[in-house]
Amino acid sequence: MKRFAWIILAVMVSCSILGIPGCNFFQEVFKEHEFKTIELRENPSSQYYDAVVRVEHLQYGSQALDRFKVKTLSNVFKMEDLTFIEEGKKRSYLEAGDIFVVPLNKLEWEIVIDWEDEDGETRPFFVDCWELLPEEDRWHPLKSEAMEVAQSIELSQVDGILQPVPKFLPDEWELGWEECPDGRCGTLQYQKVRVGEVKEEVNIEYCKLTDEERRELGTTSETEFLSHWTAWTEKFSRPGVVAGHTAVYWDMRGFGSYGWSYRYAYVDDDMVVEVTLDSDPLEWVKTEQEKEEERRTRRIFVTYGYGPIGEPEWMITIEIRLNGEGSFYKQSQTGISIERLFRLTQGELDEIERALQENKFLELEPYSGAPSAVNSFITVGYDDMSHTVVATNAATEPYRNIEQKIREIVLPKVGETP
């Protein structure tokens, strides 16, 4: 839900800034219903705020409450379960002028109200309350750990190449990848990774100035020079001081993996450096204990892969984490790729664990059947070890029992036949 919401918001922003043809659809959709946060109330229980939301307008008149769902970053509410401060005569319907309360958790500043129309199509409406938050509760990319990394960037010789390199890399940060295709320009990407998931990212693009560019820079200010450096600086940038540099920047709310990226560019020793920050806002409020719990519970417990099956010869991979979160990947020989997320209950996790124990998984050995048959594997990770069993075609009965249990629990959750 979160990323879908950010994508829609990004499209809307792009439409308004760039004047993209065909954006009338989004403009009309978002005119149909208008909601506004009129107040934030402190909530001692959550140690944060409740948003008081008013229905400003309903394009089609009153609508049944059960056609609305209210989503925040961490919760989903049925509209009928929320507290109403004011409501019209039709208590099971939403009407203009109704006022309801949405509980927020730390760092949440946006509410998504999903409305299901008569055709069963769901349309999202966004309610923002960031401006109402006190400054100390307002997250921004400049308040992230990614920005701390970016502030430490200095030019250094690396393997004979002058590069902008961070001097400060906290725990969990690593160099993701680098590219220097022509010796003049290059890219460095630093990532904060926890249990295989990127939490924050600093992307650095750098380019040495040509003689002509240096001469141009000598006749104008740095910000004027940078404002014509590339497409984003021409269209969106503003001058300012960022990380101690005279720079141009683009505050990209509504863009990026987490819905709010920040980009800036500056000149350093005859080199233009562009830095893009991308950070999960929730990292700002996580304690070390919460991070450790996340490492423990989000660790991959079982990975099960098999294929090729059916047309067009799908290869299937199922990943199940200790907290019940899971991913289903499906890729064809022709390159078609499908990913679906699912969640298991504790009871379902226990069933899989029981199947592993009853069928003595740790004692199973690799098994090979007829060549060119369906291949499969199961990997189970424990605290201090992992065990993998690879099977071809007709595996042993204990192995098949484990396969069957994983399939019958997971596949219906992602719309597949066990």
290 within domain boundaries: no
In a shared domain, residues 111 and 177: no
Of 384, 219, 418, 238, nearest to 316 (Cα)? 418
Residue 331's pLDDT band, with cuts at 50, 70 and 90, is: very high
| Mean local confidence (pLDDT), 128-150 | 94
280: its two tokens? 């999960």
Give the domain CATH number at 202. Answer: 3.40.1000
Distances (CA, A) of 132 to 71, 85, 113, 176, 267: 19, 19, 19, 37, 36
Residue with token string 């233009």? 272
Residue 75's domain spans which residues?
Answer: 2-136
Per-residue b or e along 224-245, where b marks 16 or more CB atoms closer than 10 Å to that residue's CB = ebbbebeeebeeebeeeebbeb
Q: Using the predicted structure, report yes or no on whether residue 11 has a pLDDT greater than 50.
A: no
Cβ 188 vs Cβ 164: under 8 Å = yes
SS (H, E, C) 327-358: EEEEECCCCCEEEEEEECCHHHHHHHHHHHHH
**Considering 256, 284, 312, which residue would you say is the last residue of a domain?**
284
Q: Are residues 145 and 125 in the same domain?
A: no
Q: Are residues 279 and 390 in the same domain?
A: no
Residue predicted with more confidence, 80 or 254: 80
Structure tokens at 298: 């989000």
What are the tens digits of pLDDT across the range 289-323? 999 888 888 889 999 999 988 888 899 999 999 99
**In which element (H, E) is residue 392 found?**
strand 386-392
Give the global pTM: 0.70
Phi and psi of 303, rounded to 5°? -120, 125
Q: What is the mean pLDDT of residues 96-108?
A: 93
Which structure tokens are listed for 293? 């719990």
Tell me which of 369 and 87 has the higher pLDDT.
Answer: 87
Mean pLDDT, residues 32-53: 92
Least confident of 32-36, 271-275, 303-307: 32-36
Least confident of 56-60, 183-187, 376-380: 56-60
Q: How many domains does the chain have?
A: 3
Query: What stretches of 204-329 show up as alpha helix (H) in DSSP?
Result: 211-217, 222-226, 231-235, 288-297
CA separation for the pair 51, 109 (Å, rounded)? 9
Torsion of CA 135, 140, 145, 149, to 10 degrees: -120
Answer whether residue 294 is part of any domain: no
Residues 126 and 170 in one domain: no
Q: How confident is the model at residue 387 (pLDDT cuts 50, 70, 90)?
A: very high
Chain mean pLDDT for the chain: 87
Residues 164, 116 share a domain: no
3-state helix, strand, coil in the chain (%, to 5): 25, 40, 30
What's the rounded mean pLDDT across residues 35-50? 94
Last residue of a domain, one of 261, 284, 307: 284
Q: Which of the four pLDDT bands, split at 50, 70 and 90, describes residue 8?
A: very low
Q: How far is CA 91 from the centre of its chain?
A: 37
74 three-state secondary structure: coil
